[in-house]
């Protein structure tokens, strides 16, 4: 994964009023979760980060490992959850999860289709059902994207998660989930009908030719 740096400051006032004021100042309330627990629940380390730095992390199709620098202290984390305003779609809150070299994490990795599918060459349309597949592995082993070769995928066929495997990764998304499929279009149906008609004419021509040979 690519790496990105985000700076922040520890937060002491955790009320809603204080959060609203922080957002007016261009700061976003954040939590960092890790190994620490209290009463069986994860303990959150609260801090703020500038929207100007979070924007390049949030509004992107890419995934990153984040180097958090909070009051000069460095932490390694990944994005866990985002909260947006239901009306304005403004970013309200960000949760991070602290990672280390040993413990595997679960993360959604973007899917990248490789090759031109046979079904598309035959006039069909590629349909992507999911954009990411959840994988489990130490964060250093998680790639920026998962390459899936679709060259042999034909009309009416699909690729499911259970048919895929990637070295060093455990796929967490259920096996029966469809990743992509080739849907028939008007052009593909017409092409198939035309091909069937040509095959029929060719077969009938061969029969007539045999009949003439027998007659003579």
Say how far apart CA 44 and CA 37 lie, in whole Å: 9
Question: What pLDDT is stored for residue 46 in this prediction?
Answer: 93
Spatial separation of the C-alpha atoms in residues 125 and 120, rounded to whole Å: 6
DSSP per residue, 149-199 = E-TT--TT-EEEGGG---TT-EE-S-TT-EEEEEE--HHHHHHHHHHHHHH
Q: 141 near 106, Cβ under 8 Å?
A: no
- Residues 123 and 193 occupy one common structural domain: no
Whether residues 117 and 202 fall in one domain? no
Same domain membership, residue 146 and residue 164: yes
**22, 85: one domain:** yes
Backbone torsion region of residue 115, taken as left when φ is above 0, otherwise alpha when ψ lies between -120 and 50, otherwise beta? left
How many CB atoms are closer than 10 A to CB 54? 21
From 99, 134, 150, the end of a domain falls on 99
Same structural domain for residues 136 and 88?
Answer: no
Last residue of a domain, one of 52, 73, 99: 99
The tally of domains found in the chain comes to 3
**Whether residue 123 sits in one domain with residue 136:** yes
Which tops the pLDDT comparison, 40 or 134?
134
Place of tokens 């060093």: 168
State the average pLDDT over residues 26-48. 82
Same domain, 36 and 94: yes
Point out the domain boundary residue: 99, 132, 162. 99
First vs last Cα of the chain: how many Å apart? 76
Domain of residue 129: give its range: 107-184
* Amino acid 12: pLDDT: 83
Provide the whole-model pTM: 0.77
**Which range among 36-40, 93-97, 132-136 shows the weakest confidence by mean pLDDT?**
36-40
In whole angstroms, how far apart are CA 70 and each of 8, 31, 36, 120?
A: 5, 11, 17, 49
Q: E strand or H helix at 47, and its extent?
A: strand 41-50
Return the residue matching tokens 């489990």.
Answer: 136
The span from the CA of 112 to the CA of 146, in Å, is 6
Residues 79 and 121 in one domain: no
pLDDT value of position 196:
64
Question: How many angstroms separate the CA atoms of 100 and 94, rounded?
Answer: 20
Q: What is the mean pLDDT of residues 10-29?
A: 90
Q: What percent of the chain shows pLDDT beyond 70?
A: 83
User: Does residue 180 sit in the same domain as residue 196?
Assistant: no
Residues 213 and 143 placed together within one structural domain of the fold: no
Q: Which residues pair with 8 in a beta bridge?
A: 70
* Under 8 Å between Cβ of 80 and 57: no
| Whether residues 179 and 120 fall in one domain | yes
């Amino acid at each position: 994964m690519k790496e990105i740096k985000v700076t922040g400051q520890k937060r002491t006032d955790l009320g809603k009023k204080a959060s609203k004021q922080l957002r007016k100042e261009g700061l976003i309330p954040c939590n960092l979760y890790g190994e620490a627990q209290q009463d069986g629940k994860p303990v959150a380390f609260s801090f703020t980060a500038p929207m100007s730095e979070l924007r390049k992390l949030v509004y992107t199709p890419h995934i990153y490992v984040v180097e958090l620098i909070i009051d000069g202290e460095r932490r390694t984390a990944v994005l866990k959850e985002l909260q947006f305003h239901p009306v304005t779609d403004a970013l309200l809150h960000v949760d991070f999860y602290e990672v280390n070299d040993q413990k595997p994490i679960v993360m959604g990795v973007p899917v990248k289709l490789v090759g031109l599918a046979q079904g598309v060459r035959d006039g069909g349309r590629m349909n992507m059902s999911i954009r990411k597949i959840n994988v489990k592995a130490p964060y250093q082993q998680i790639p920026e994207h998962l390459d899936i070769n679709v060259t042999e995928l034909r009309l009416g066929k699909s690729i499911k998660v259970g048919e895929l495997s990637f070295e060093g990764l455990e796929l967490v998304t259920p096996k029966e989930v469809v990743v992509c499929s080739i849907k028939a279009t008007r052009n593909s149906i017409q092409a198939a009908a035309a091909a069937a008609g040509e095959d029929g004419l060719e077969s009938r021509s061969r029969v007539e030719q045999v009949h003439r040979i027998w007659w003579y």
